[in-house]
Structure 1
């Protein structure tokens, strides 16, 4: 199939300006929180960098006999981003009950391979990764637990390995000299096409 030279040149020009995604780390948790009592919460803040989306990754630690979904002793994890609760779930980490998710607004990726039912006080951990809309100003992430209050010596939770990577799309713009040559070539091809059309009319 024949493609007009002008069409080919315009396609090449467009290809040079296609956006490519770049990830920039805008928050890293310096140290783990250690054991936090349930009920309790932990909050982090970080500034946006002009990108529109970001990925939050972290590990939720369970200590002692942190319970999963249970009618009496259930402990519930809450993840809130910029004022909106985006994930709610229970995880059996050394305690009673079972893993259960009641809210997952953003389609989080969750690794529960280090959890399990049975009261054994061995704790456990859950890996999280979730994409979210990044605000241009200050962003706030709140991790929290609610449930039947017990001492840290019996059950507790914490956050470690927290990181936020902002995803931005940058356009690759041709150098001025290259752009000038391409435009000049476009003019030559256009003139040639016009002359050919004139010859066909005679």
Structure 2
């Protein structure tokens, strides 16, 4: 059985400012860093075999914060580091598997815009916004990849709000509008 801890990245500067980030890298703000650190504390004793992240920086940054205690504990257990050793963010990022499959939705011309000013009706959206069908295809490909690449492993994957919703939609075989929105740094568990 493959166990997936599905995590949404911590709050970013653009989240707080209500700016549509889309597939821009993004960076955690102080709240987002604290959120990721809280997940790291809560999950410090959970066994995790593999850390996976979207290839967008805000997710990689969240994943690195969560992975740090696991990776540093592993170094100490194997006797490869003394008690004062620690990993840099770059060291940790090299140990995280990244994938574009769980990037945020491509919001096309909406990227960088103030969210409250955008039209709510998809009929009024630009043609270059990624479709839900395309996102659900990426979600299915992601779940298939995990099952093939990491059978019987425990995986922590950090993605984004809407792609995480698409992953759950595919997993539960339910429409996306029936999947509850994930808060920043929220963790959900899926058994694949």
Please give the TM-score of this superposition, normalised by the length of structure 2: 0.26
Bigger RCO (CA 8 Å, 6+ sep) = 2
Normalized per residue, the structure richer in helix is 2
Larger Rg: 1
Normalized per residue, the structure richer in strand is 1
